[in-house]
């Protein structure tokens, strides 16, 4: 059974069709890219999956469960985590707290537990702490645990954001332009990191990315959209030589 199944997904904003009849099926342990020119509706697809928008038509099934009508936090609780195009960390709380809070859906204690500091509360908080530290350790962020995100270099902030998404313990990780604004050294590191996360956590990764180095070295499948419509789907080699894709990116051969 596939992990994520999207059928005929359409989203209209007034008269504008941002996403038109989008279909995809993601299996477990895949790494897939979604590419396309700016404004093609890529982020909208992610927003639809994470429940930030509701689809106008079509269905989204995650682990066989229809996610339409769920609120974003409920979708996340099912095991979909994501990062954002512009970094959206909680900038006034330290890195450790950022990672802890993303475990909100499996706190496992009630408000009353919290007031009374019951045994349940203590063990749960310890568990949350342990997972957070493990993740920081694994992602080489331990030294920044008590820093505020806004004081960290951009590349590290990206890493923190990915770590935060991973603390959800997702089955599907959506990365929205993870390499945007990174220099070439950082990009190399990002590629290594994503590959490592993929191996280590056995997670399906779906990314929106413009930098072809990242896409080509990580992804086994690429989907290309333009004006909300899918124009190509295939392996990196197929995409590279696809005339429609070249046209969408470079325009007609009028030069």
Residue found by looking up tokens 């993303």 in the block: 102
Distance CA 32, CA 167 (A): 21
CA dist., res. 172 & res. 159, Å (int): 17
Contact indicator for 212, 188 with CB cutoff of 8 Å: no
Cα(197)–Cα(139) distance, integer angstroms: 9
CB nearer another protein, residue 128 or residue 239: 128
How near is the Cβ of 12 to another protein at its closest, in Å? 15
CA dihedral 186, 188, 194, 198 (to 10 degrees): -160
Please, which of residues 167-196 interact with another protein by CB under 8 A? 168
Task: Name which of 130 and 192 has its Cβ closer to another protein.
Answer: 130
Residue-wise burial string across 70-101, b where 16 or more C-beta atoms lie within 10 A, e elsewhere:
beeeebbebbbbbbeeebebeeeebbbbbbbe
Does position 73 interact with another protein (CB under 8 A)? The reply is yes
From 27-35, 163-171, 224-232, 241-249, span contacting another protein (CB under 8 A): 163-171
112 binds another protein (CB under 8 A): no
Q: Is 109 in the site for another protein (CB under 8 A)?
A: yes
If the CB atoms of residues 117 and 247 are measured against another protein, the closer one turns out to be 117
Q: Which residues pair with 25 in a beta bridge?
A: 5
Report how far Cα 100 is from the mean position of its chain's Cα atoms: 18
| Alpha helical stretches, state H, 50-153 | 72-78, 95-101, 111-116, 119-138
Among 82, 158, 159, 221, binds another protein (CB under 8 A): 82
Find out whether 214 and 179 touch, Cβ atoms under 8 Å.
yes
Given a contact cutoff of 8 angstroms between Cβ atoms, the answer to whether 26 and 3 are in contact is: yes
236 DSSP 8-state letter = H
As measured in angstroms, the least distance from the Cβ of 206 to another protein is 15
> Quick check: 76 binds another protein (CB under 8 A)?
yes
Smaller CB distance to another protein: residue 170 or 232?
170
**17-56: which residues touch another protein (CB under 8 A)?**
43, 47, 50, 52
Region binding another protein by CB under 8 A among candidate stretches 111-119, 135-143, 206-214, 246-254: 111-119
CA 65 to CA 56: how far, in whole Å? 18
Give me the least distance between CB of 125 and another protein, in Å please: 6
Residue 62 or 221: the one with the smaller Cβ distance to another protein is 62
Q: Which stretches of the chain bind another protein, using CB under 8 A?
A: 43, 47, 50, 52, 71-73, 76-77, 81-82, 84-85, 88-93, 97, 100-105, 107, 109, 111, 114-115, 117, 121, 125, 128, 164-165, 168
């Amino acid at each position: 059974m596939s992990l994520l199944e999207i059928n005929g997904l359409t989203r209209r904003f007034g008269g504008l069709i941002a996403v038109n009849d989008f279909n995809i099926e993601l299996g477990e342990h895949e790494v897939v890219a979604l590419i396309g020119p700016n404004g093609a509706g890529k982020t909208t697809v992610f927003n639809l999956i994470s429940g930030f928008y509701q689809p106008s038509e079509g269905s989204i099934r995650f682990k066989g469960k229809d996610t339409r009508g769920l609120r974003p936090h409920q979708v996340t609780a099912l095991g979909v985590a994501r990062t954002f195009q512009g970094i959206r960390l909680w900038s006034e709380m330290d890195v450790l707290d950022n990672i802890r809070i993303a475990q909100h859906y499996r706190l496992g204690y009630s408000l009353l537990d919290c007031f009374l500091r019951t045994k349940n509360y203590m063990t749960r908080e310890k568990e949350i702490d342990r997972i957070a530290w493990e993740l920081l350790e694994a992602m080489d962020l331990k030294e920044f645990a008590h820093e505020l995100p806004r004081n960290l270099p951009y590349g590290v902030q990206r890493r923190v954001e990915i770590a935060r998404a991973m603390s959800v313990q997702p089955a599907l990780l959506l990365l929205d332009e993870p390499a945007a604004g990174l220099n070439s050294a950082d990009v190399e590191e990002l590629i290594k990191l994503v590959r490592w996360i993929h191996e280590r956590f056995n997670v399906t990764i779906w990314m929106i990315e413009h930098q072809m180095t990242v896409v080509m070295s990580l992804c086994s499948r690429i989907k290309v959209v333009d004006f909300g419509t899918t124009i190509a789907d295939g392996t990196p080699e197929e995409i590279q030589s696809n005339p429609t894709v070249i046209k969408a990116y470079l325009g007609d051969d009028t030069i």
